[in-house]
Amino acid sequence: MAHPKRKISKTRRDKRRTHYKAVKPTLATDPTTGEMHLFHRAHWHEGKLYYRGQVVIDATEEVEA
């Protein structure tokens, strides 16, 4: 089984891990409702589903049988 010849220092180990970072999600403001939401995602506001400022689904309307 392979073993390292020398101990890897904490500095060298931490340099390898510099790319693992927590990233804050980018938020957008809807032009019609003013709601904050994730980019490229539809969001609900007062019973309506909005995407890019347009109503996609209106849950407030009654469905006729």
Residue 1's Cβ-side half-sphere holds a number of Cα atoms within 13 Å equal to: 1
Contacts of 63 by beta carbon, 8 Å cutoff, 6+ apart: none
Q: Tell me whether residue 54 is in a domain.
A: yes
Q: Tell me whether residue 21 is in a domain.
A: no
Higher pLDDT, 54 or 17: 54
Question: What is the tally of structural domains in the chain?
Answer: 1
Q: Tell me whether residue 60 is in a domain.
A: yes
Q: What's the pLDDT band for 62 if we cut at 50, 70, 90? A: low
- Would the pLDDT of 56 be above 80? yes
Whether the model clears a pTM of 0.75, i.e. scores above it, the answer is no
Which tens digit of pLDDT belongs to each residue from 1-44? Answer: 889 899 999 999 889 888 878 888 899 999 888 999 999 999 99
Q: What's the pLDDT band for 64 if we cut at 50, 70, 90? A: low
Q: Tell me whether residue 55 is in a domain.
A: yes
Structural domain for 47, as ranges = 27-64
